[in-house]
Amino acid sequence: MGVAYARTAVRPLAVSDVGIYLRHMISVEAGSGVDGAAHSHAYGRDEHFDMEDGQQREALRWSTAITQVGWRRAWGLFDDEELIGYADLAGGRLASDLHRTKLGMGVARPHRRQGGGTVLLGTVIAWARAQTGIAWVDLGVFSDNAPARALYRKHGFRDLGVTADRFRVDGVSLDEVWMTLNVSYDADPPDDSS
C-alpha cells in the first residue's frame, strides 16, 4: 500500500524494481555537487557503475531476510509511474550490528522541496519502528547538504559527529556528518536537548 502526497505515492520496491532503482540512483548521483547543488554521493564523475553486477548484488540483498547480514529494503517515490525518489535501509555486515540500519535517500533534482522526501522518510521510519530487531537508523550526510540535514533533524535524527575530509570527490573535500535516530520503543530515547 502506497502513501499519497499530492500527485506522488510511496511504495515498497520489489526485486523486479531493482533496475529502475539503480538507474534512478545513477541519475541522482550524476547531479551531486553540480551547478550549485549540494553533494549527495561520494562517487566521482568518471567512476563507472557495472549495472549487471549491481542488479545481481541488489537482488540478492533485497531477498535477504532482515535477520541476516547484508540485507536491504527500498521504497520508491513515484509521480504516476515515474520513479522520482527513493529511500533504502541496509543491514550491517556483522550479526552483532543487525540492530542498526543505514539510511540512503535521493530525490531527483526537479522534484526536491515538494514534500516527497518527508513522505519517504516518514514511511521508512515507520517501517523500521515496526521491526522488532531494529533499534537505530543511522546515516551519513555531507556537511554542505543543509536541506537534507534539516529534513533529518525534523524527523528526530540527531548529530553524532563529523568526519572531516571524509571523501575527496572530483577535487572537492567533503566532510561527513553522522546522524542517528532511535526507533526502538524498548531502548532509551535519544537526548533531544542538543
- pLDDT per residue, tens digit, the chain (194 aa), is 444 445 678 999 999 999 888 887 777 665 554 555 555 555 556 666 676 887 899 899 999 999 999 999 999 999 888 888 899 999 989 999 999 999 999 887 766 777 778 999 999 999 999 999 999 999 999 888 888 999 999 999 999 999 999 888 878 888 999 999 999 965 445 454 44
Residue 193 lies in a domain: no
Residue 60 lies in a domain: yes
Residue 147 lies in a domain: yes
Residue 188 lies in a domain: no
Residue 82 lies in a domain: yes
Give the per-residue pLDDT at 35: 57
Find out whether 8 and 116 touch, Cβ atoms under 8 Å. yes
The three cell numbers of residue 80 are 504516476
Dist. CA 190–CA 138, nearest whole Å: 13
Residue 153 lies in a domain: yes
Give the per-residue pLDDT at 2: 45
Residue 194 lies in a domain: no
Domain encompassing residue 80: 3-182
41-76 b/e (C-beta count within 10 Å ≥ 16 → b): bbbeeeeeeeeeebeeebeebbeeebeeeebbbbbb
CATH code of 27's domain: 3.40.630.30
- Our count of domains for the chain comes to 1
Strand-pairing partners, residue 72, are 90
Residue 190 lies in a domain: no
